[in-house]
Chain A
Amino acid sequence: MASISFRGLAKHFGGVVAVKDFTLDVPDGELLVLVGPSGCGKTTTLRMLAGLEAPTAGEIWLGEREIARLPARERNIAMVFQNYALYPHMTVAENVGFALRLAGVKRDEVARRVLKAAEMMGIGGLLERRPRELSGGQRQRVAVCRAIVRDPQAFLFDEPLSNLDAKLRMSARAEIRRLQQRLGVTTVYVTHDQVEAMTLADRMVVMHDGCIQQVGRPLDIYARPANTFVAGFIGSPPLNLLPVSLSATLGLPQQLLTMGSEVATIGVRPESISLRASDLRRPLHLTAQLELVEALGAESLLHLRLGEWPLLARVPGTVSVSAGDTLALAMDGSALCFFGNDGQRIDDSDLQLSLAQTHNASVVRPATGN
């Protein structure tokens, strides 16, 4: 087990920059998730850590060793691949024990360790089967088993759940989390699924266009996205991004437009919008047209229109509204995010303060229409 440090890591493919200036420390035992849309450089970063791709520049430290130029087999890192990459001609036992065999471990020792790892993953009964005789979920377990049997210094996961169906994915996710906590091995996990990232990560790294957009604990990133990209990517459904010109409609103080004069975009979480103003700490009132209701059972997603701007609200499933209604809504003024012209988050303590003052000074309008 070891910590991992990236120092100015970069990768260019010809003229295309896949990763630039990736600098990050992963403490020993942490589960770090790299998340971002496809093409954001997360898999390339992982492959450079694995030793499957040579970095154009920068360093990678694994514990006390600088490994960026070492071949993969000298790094003592294990990886679980998206399509599992099990060797079709070998049995499960041979697949799991392959790395140990190559390392020259004695036959009975290999058998013992394979059995132990297989029992930990609940595949002890499958050791003599071949990969084609296994279901997707079983293959995935074998792939994880192959990684843990080696007792590596770090685990890498490259979208290991994306080939599973939704139900299996949830249980496999929880299992990977438990396993990682139990083994305490530093883990880097790549996914494009932000729900997976949120639920698994100790810390997550949101990437876009080869750059780190934000690093932090999932809930911190959720509550305080660093820029409009992160805001739009994290959360399901994501943050509503509205132009500042709507601030009057939203019941925001006019000072917002002049305050520092940088605010360009206002972010509103769908769950910060409510049909009942009394639910909210600091309600701001607005009226919107309901275009579509997506009833999910426990909750409903309301597709609203605020003038020409779409707005998504997440409300309890018990609320009965129908498309075409004009709704009087309230949103939580304390949960707003503000972004500047460059898309970066504006540290909003001043804004929040002025918002609070305005709100306290104004007469609270009665909630109507619900």
Chain B
Amino acid sequence: MTLGTPWRAVGHLVLVLLCLSMVVPLLVALGMAFKPPNEVYSLVPWPQAPTLDNFRRLFEQVPFHLYLWNSVATTALRVGGQIVIAVLCAYAFARWEFPGREWLFGAVLGAMMVPHTLTMIPIYMMIAELQWFDTWRALVIPNLAMPFAVFLLRQHFRSFPRELFDAAEMDGAGHWRALWLVVLPNLKPVLSALAIILFIDCWNEYFWPLLVTDAPESRTVQIGIREFLEADHNDFGGLMAGVTLASLPALAVFFVFQRKVMDTFVASGIK
């Protein structure tokens, strides 16, 4: 169905407004990050006299480089681990026949239904028991198994052409090599999408790192920004410098992987 020109214009207008609602706050934050203190409350979104003072103060008042490093490292470890575990688990559910498979998969789905807030206290107590406070382990390990990722990948493995599995088997590939050399290269778009979702989920997490970290050198960037604000309640320039730095990796990951997703779609001839 094609829409008439007026309706198309209205549609475009709605899309543009939605776009602006996403982009404007980001641009305001970016502008403010480079504004000197006397311009912070000015309505002009871009700085008249751009300065890097905000960033300097951010790094001087709190160990922001440590926060960034903690966030980058734990997110990389956690997302990497989540994908490896989900791939192997989903492959087993999709391709292996073993007694209790459906029951076990039902249990995985069931785990997806349990709200995070419900499991938070028991896990917190386990972390306490293990004396994992203020370690990367506390940030990474409790979240490694991701039922949603298992579910998503299992569906894709199941709809993967059976003949390709068969051909790989005839060509002499066992499960590992079939998975690594045949299945995963063909599922790059799905893996990319999953990586984006898991990255953003982890990068933006606030409450769990707040619970299990206390020492400044083990905190992540999202909490670091709050620490900074607590140090000086009125330093919005510094705050926005922190927000900008915290957003950059997420944006970078998104652009890199989104490109990959698009590439793969174009390459497969589906346009």
Chain A interfacial positions (CB closer than 8 Å to B): 50-52, 71-73, 77-79, 81-83, 85-89, 98-99, 102-103, 132, 146
Q: How far is the CA of A50 from the CA of B171 in the complex (A)?
A: 11
Q: Are A102 and B177 in contact (CB under 8 A)?
A: yes
Whether B100 is near chain A, meaning CB under 8 Å from some CB there, is no
| A292 CA / B173 CA spacing, docked (Å) | 56
Additional A-B contacts beyond A50-B170, A99-B170 (19; CB < 8 A): A52-B166, A71-B169, A72-B170, A73-B171, A73-B172, A73-B173, A78-B170, A79-B167, A81-B167, A82-B163, A85-B161, A85-B164, A85-B166, A87-B164, A88-B186, A88-B268, A89-B185, A102-B177, A132-B268
Q: Which residues of A contact B6 (CB under 8 A)?
A: none
CA distance A26 to B10 in the complex (A): 71
The answer on a CB contact under 8 Å between B268 and A52 is no
For B153-179 the 0/1 string (1 means CB < 8 A from A) is 000000001011011111111100100
Candidate in A79, A81, A85 with the most chain B CB atoms within 10 angstroms: A85
B206 to chain A, nearest CB (A): 39
Q: Contact check, B171 vs A98: say whether CB atoms are below 8 A apart.
A: yes
Asked if B190 CB lies within 8 Å of chain A CBs, one says no
Complex-state Cα separation, A71 to B169, whole angstroms: 8
Contact partners of B163 in chain A: CB under 8 A: 81-83, 85
Q: Which residue on A lies nearest to B174, using beta carbons?
A: A73
Contact of A99 among B161, B171, B185, B268 (CB under 8 A): B171
Q: Could you show 7 A-B contacts with beta carbons less than 8 Å apart?
A: A50-B170, A51-B169, A73-B170, A79-B167, A82-B163, A85-B167, A86-B167
**A182 CA to B170 CA in the complex, in Å?**
23
User: With an 8 A cutoff between CB atoms, is B223 at the interface?
Assistant: no
With an 8 A cutoff between CB atoms, is B122 at the interface? no
Check B182 for interface membership: any CB of A closer than 8 A.
Answer: yes
Interface residues, chain B, with chain A CB atoms under 8 Å away: 161, 163-164, 166-174, 177, 181-182, 185-186, 268-269
* Interface of B (DSSP majority class): helix
Residues in A whose Cβ lies below 8 Å from that of B173:
73, 102
Q: Which one of B170, B172, B182, B186 contacts A79 once the chains associate, using CB atoms below 8 Å?
A: B170
Residue among A72, A83, A88, A103 making CB contact with B169, cutoff 8 Å: A72
Residue in A closest to B170 when the chains form the complex, CB atoms: A79
Q: Are A132 and B161 in contact, with the CB atoms below 8 A?
A: no
Residues of A within 8 A of B169 (CB): 51-52, 71-73
Which of A81, A82, A89 has the largest count of B CB atoms less than 10 A from its CB?
Answer: A89
Cβ B167 vs Cβ A77 within 8 A: no
Known: A79-B170, A81-B167, A102-B177. A89 touches B186 (CB 8 A): yes
A95 to chain B, nearest CB (A): 9
Residues of B within 8 A of A146 (CB): 171
List, in ascending order, chain B residues with CB within 8 A of A102's CB: 171-173, 177
Q: 3 closest pairs, A vs B, by CB?
A: A85-B163, A99-B171, A85-B167
Which A residues lie within 8 Å of B172 (CB)? 73, 99, 102-103
Contact B186 A52 (CB under 8 A): no
In this complex, which of B167, B174, B177, B186 has the most chain A Cβ atoms within 10 angstroms of its Cβ? B167
A148 to B80, CA, bound (A): 40
Nearest CB of chain A from residue B69's CB, rounded to whole Å: 35
Q: Which residues of B contact A81 (CB under 8 A)?
A: 163, 166-167
User: Among the interface residues B168, B171, B173, B181, which one has the most CB atoms of the partner chain A within 10 A?
Assistant: B171
CA distance A50 to B162 in the complex (A): 15
Chain B residues near A85 (CB, 8 Å)? 161, 163-164, 166-167
Q: Which A residues are in CB contact (< 8 Å) with B168?
A: 87
Cβ-defined contact, A132 with B170, below 8 A: no
A50 to B169, CA, bound (A): 10
Chain B residues positioned under 8 Å from A50 (CB to CB): 166, 170
Residues of A within 8 A of B177 (CB): 102
The CA-CA distance from A83 to B166 in the complex, in Å, is: 12
- Evaluate contact between A132 and B269: CB separation under 8 angstroms: yes
Shortest CB distance A267–B (Å): 39
Q: Which residues of A contact B174 (CB under 8 A)?
A: 71, 73
How many angstroms between the C-alpha atoms of A50 and B163 in the bound complex? 13
Q: How far is the CA of A123 from the CA of B164 in the complex (A)?
A: 21
Residues of A within 8 A of B170 (CB): 50-52, 72-73, 77-79, 99
Residue of B nearest to A98 (CB): B171
A83: chain B residues at CB < 8 Å are: 161, 163
Question: Which single residue of chain A is at the shortest CB-CB distance from B169?
Answer: A72
- Inside 8 A of A88's CB, which chain B residues have their CB? 186, 268
Bound CA–CA A81/B186 (angstroms): 19
A85 to B268, CA, bound (A): 15
- Distance from B153 Cβ to chain A, minimum over Cβ atoms (Å): 17
How many Å lie between the Cα of A77 and that of B168 in the bound state?
A: 13
Q: Give the residues in chain A near B181, CB-CB below 8 Å.
A: 98
Q: Which residues of B contact A71 (CB under 8 A)?
A: 169, 174
How many angstroms from the CA of A81 to the CA of B161 in the assembled complex?
12
B185 to chain A: which residues have CB within 8 Å?
Answer: 89
A160 to chain B, nearest CB (A): 12
Contacts of A72 in B (CB 8 A): 169-170
Beta-carbon nearest neighbor of A74 in chain B = B172
Chain B CB count within 10 A is highest, among A71, A98, A132, A146, for A98
Say yes or no: B268 contacts A87, CB within 8 Å: no
Tell me which residues across on chain B come within 8 A of A77, comparing CB atoms: 170
